[in-house]
Structure 1
Amino acid sequence: MKSYQKLTLLLIVFSLCSACANMGAKPWEHDLLAEKSMSVDPNPIQSSFDDHIYFSKEASSGGRSYGGGGCGCN
C-alpha cells in the first residue's frame, strides 16, 4: 500500500513540475505578440482624447480610480 502512495505522490510531483516547463513565448511566436492589436492600448491617441474629455467633464485629475472632483451635475 505504501508503494502505491509513493508512486501516486511521485506522479503528482512530476506532473506539477512539467506544467511550468513551457512558460514564455518561443522566438517564432514573437511576431504574433508584436502586432498592434495585441498591445495594451492599441490606439493611444484616441485614449488620450477620451481621457481629456472625461477629465474635462468631471473637473478632476489623477485617474479614473480616484474619488472626488467634479460638480456632480449630470
Structure 2
Amino acid sequence: MKSSMTKLIMLSAGLSSLLTLSACSSLDIEPWVKPYERQNLADPIMRFGRHPIANMHVAHVLEARESARGAEGTGGGGCGCN
C-alpha cells in the first residue's frame, strides 16, 4: 500500500513538473522594452535623483559614514579622513 502511494506521488510530481516545463517553453516571450523605447528610459527626467550636486553630497556622506560600503571609487576609513 505504501509503495503504491509513493509511486502515485512520484508520478503526479513528475507529470506536474513536465506540464510546467512544457508550458514555459511554449510561451513566446518578448522583451518588455523595445529597442526604440530605450531612449525614453535614458531621459534625465527618469533618474531618481535629478540634482547632481545633491547626489554627490549624499554619496560623500554615506561614504564617510560607512567605511565598509566601498565601490564608490575612493578609499578611506569611516572617520571621514579620506
User: TM-score scaled by structure 2?
Assistant: 0.40
Larger relative contact order, structure 1 or 2 (CA cutoff 8 Å, min sep 6): 2
Q: TM-score, normalised by structure 1?
A: 0.43
